[in-house]
Amino acid sequence: AKVYLAEHAKLAAMLGEWRDTLARQPARLDQPEQRLALLDASLLMQHLLEHHFEREEKGLLIETRR
């Protein structure tokens, strides 16, 4: 359980950083390069969330069967 709680804390920190990144953006991104840069910046967060949820599903399933 400690591993999941630590991962949740890390993900919460990353989410805070992502919110800060979004807050610094203008209301409208007119340049395609700006849009792509923003999408690229989100990929790490998306990948980590996907990996985390997958691990959590598998790990919690094992723990609940004990």
pLDDT tens digits for 14-56? 999 999 999 999 999 999 999 999 999 899 889 988 988 888 8
Q: What is the mean pLDDT of the chain?
A: 87
Residue 60 pLDDT exceeds 80: no
DSSP assigned state of 65: T
Distances (CA, A) of 61 to 26, 49, 50: 43, 18, 17
Spatial separation of the C-alpha atoms in residues 61 and 4, rounded to whole Å: 13
Percent of the chain with pLDDT over 90: 45
Q: What are phi and psi of 25, to 5 degrees?
A: -85, 150
61 — pLDDT class (breaks 50, 70, 90): low
Query: Where exactly are the structural domains of the chain?
Result: 2-64
